[in-house]
């Protein structure tokens, strides 16, 4: 993390002071992140750079959701990265995903204004990382261009683990599981046993078991139109998990375990257990194991 008096690490002991009380005097931008989250690693350095540039016009508060799951749960964090802006003890705006720097500047200028005269002058804007560019394109629905950006970056640096893992995740969302597996195999040996690599491997296995990928937006619309359609909810759960929203997928599966446990020969419980493998040592896995145990007993 960049050393700056305007950037702080949050936990349960200082959340009230920094975010709630602190937002009385200055806007507080809270970055919810996790170590396993590739887009978080692309977004956070840009937020830190802007916090330094704004020189106290807002406070950037970083919350590790793995170390502080209770706070993340209370604030309804369901996907990472999520960024929330607080002013005078109220949530005034938020966004999810790794926005490109121009959009981050627009967001801040809307709520904070342009950087002040006391801000450190910006020499030349740093180019966005290929991973951040790709994640922004993916968020906008342009997965083909996102893949092209990452494939170009991989060609320039074939063993870049961050690029390979991001490309693998996008390929899973596109249903291209063979390329996703190729990304895993191309990882340097030291990276293959890492948490992110294991997570991607488990997601690929889940995708192969679950069949072809589906249009997440279409499934979300269908579920909103008919929340009682359990088959649509099941398909949405799998599509959400494969798109990176593992917690959202598990929430849907828990509903089905309670309401329709025999759907597709007990698939809700089986897929929930598979998602525990995807999460690995993530504290979220333990939390949802306890929820499942409570439902079953």
Instruction: Tell me which residues are annotated as active site.
Output: 37, 40
d(CA 193, CA 199): 10
**Positive or negative CA dihedral for 202, 205, 209, 212?**
positive
d(CA 216, CA 11): 33
Single out the residue of 194, 219, 279 nearest to residue 244, CA to CA: 279
**C-alpha gyration radius of the chain:** 20
Contacts of 276 (CB under 8 A, 6+ apart): 285, 288, 289
d(CA 203, CA 191): 17
Helix (H, G, I), strand (E, B) or coil at 7: strand
Contacts of 88 (CB under 8 A, 6+ apart): 23, 24
d(CA 74, CA 70): 6
Q: Is 219 left (phi over 0), alpha (psi -120 to 50) or beta?
A: alpha
């Amino acid at each position: 993390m960049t050393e700056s008096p305007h950037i702080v690490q949050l936990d349960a002991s200082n959340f009230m002071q920094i975010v709630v009380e602190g937002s009385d005097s200055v806007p507080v931008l809270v970055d919810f992140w996790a170590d396993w989250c590739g887009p978080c690693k692309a977004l956070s350095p840009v937020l830190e750079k802007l916090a330094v540039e704004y020189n106290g016009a807002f406070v950037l508060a970083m919350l590790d959701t793995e170390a502080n799951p209770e706070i993340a749960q209370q604030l309804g964090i369901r996907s990472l990265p999520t960024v929330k802006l607080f002013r005078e003890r109220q949530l005034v705006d938020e966004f999810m995903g790794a926005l490109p720097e121009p959009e981050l500047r627009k967001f801040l200028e809307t709520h904070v204004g342009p950087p002040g005269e006391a801000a450190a002058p910006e020499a030349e804007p740093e180019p966005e990382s290929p991973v951040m560019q790709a994640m922004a394109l993916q968020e906008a629905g342009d997965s083909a261009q996102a893949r092209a950006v990452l494939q170009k970056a991989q060609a320039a640096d074939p063993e870049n683990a961050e690029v390979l893992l991001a490309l693998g995740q996008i390929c899973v969302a596109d249903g291209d599981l063979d390329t996703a597996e190729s990304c895993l195999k191309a990882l340097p040996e030291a990276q293959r046993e890492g948490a992110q690599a294991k997570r991607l491997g488990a997601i690929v296995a889940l995708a192969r078991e679950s069949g072809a990928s589906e249009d997440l937006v279409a499934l979300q619309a269908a579920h909103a139109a008919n929340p009682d359609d359990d088959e649509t909810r099941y398909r949405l759960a799998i599509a959400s998990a494969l798109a990176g929203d593992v917690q959202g997928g598990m929430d849907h599966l828990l509903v089905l375990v309670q309401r329709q446990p025999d759907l597709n020969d007990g698939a809700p419980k089986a897929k929930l257990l598979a998602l525990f493998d995807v999460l690995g040592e993530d504290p979220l896995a333990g939390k949802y194991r306890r929820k499942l145990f409570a439902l079953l007993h």
